[in-house]
Amino acid sequence: MTENKFEFHYDLYNDSSELTERDAWLLTEARSATKEAYAPYSNFYVGAVAMLANGEIVAGTNQENASYPVGICAERVLLGTVATIHPNVEIESIAISYSSQNIKSDHPISPCGMCRQALLEYETRLKKPIRLILGGLEGKVFVIKTVSLLLPFAFTSEELI
Ligand code: THU
């Protein structure tokens, strides 16, 4: 038996003013997209905004439903939109932010497990690492170089060949 370790590195910023201009701008877009979320059940409004390799910007927000499991996260709304309106264009970075009526939006959140799987599929499909910029409406910001870091031991299409 050998004990193995998984670890990963990410960049931590004290606030968005320390980011590059481009990343700060994308995070501002994600913060602003939270206003378009439809989240009357959780009151947790998520905005995810992608910067594509062709310079286009696409936004997604969470869309809830009275039948709760029907609701969909901002990240997967975003991926479906990007794949439809800009097929085969790589995603360079996605900024994700949130606002909430219940908690202070002063720390980063990271994508749920289902969204990590969906993001990884997109990264693999387009063969381009997707950077994540994670931050609340204020406070610390995480920058993660590739989605694959968030999903160790991932199940991928390689198992299906
Ligand atoms: N949500 C997202 O949109 N993205 C995440 O990464 C985590 C959770 C949404 C789903 C639901 O509408 C609300 O946030 C509360 O879970």
| Opening angle at CA 35, ends 114 and 126, nearest 5 | 40
- 74, pLDDT greater than 90: yes
Long-range pairs for 68-75 at CB < 8 Å and ≥24 separation? Answer: 68/41, 71/41, 73/46, 73/111, 73/112, 73/114, 73/115, 74/33, 74/37, 74/46, 74/47, 74/48, 75/46, 75/48, 75/111, 75/115, 75/118, 75/119
- 161, pLDDT greater than 90: no
Domain ranges across the chain: 24-70+82-91+98-111
Average pLDDT for 11-37: 98
Query: Catalytic annotation on 29?
Result: no
Per-residue tokens: 35? 């206003």
Average pLDDT for 73-100: 98
- pLDDT-derived band at 105 (thresholds 50, 70, 90) equals very high
Active-site residue among 29, 64, 75, 123?
Answer: 75
Share of the chain above pLDDT 70, in %: 100
Share of the chain above pLDDT 90, in %: 98
Average pLDDT for 39-60: 98
Dihedral sign of CA atoms 97, 124, 82, 56 in order: positive
How far does the centroid of ligand 1 lie from the alpha carbon of residue 72, in Å? Answer: 7
Contact 98, 110 (CB under 8 A): no
In the sheet that 91-100 helps form, which strands lie side by side, from edge to edge?
11-13, 141-144, 131-135, 91-100, 44-52, 57-61
44 lines ligand 1 (CB under 6 A): yes
How far does the centroid of ligand 1 lie from the alpha carbon of residue 57, in Å? Answer: 21
Q: What is the third-level CATH fold of 24-70+82-91+98-111?
A: Cytidine Deaminase; domain 2 (3.40.140)
- 129, pLDDT greater than 90: yes
- 104, pLDDT greater than 90: yes
Average pLDDT for 53-64: 98
- 54, pLDDT greater than 90: yes
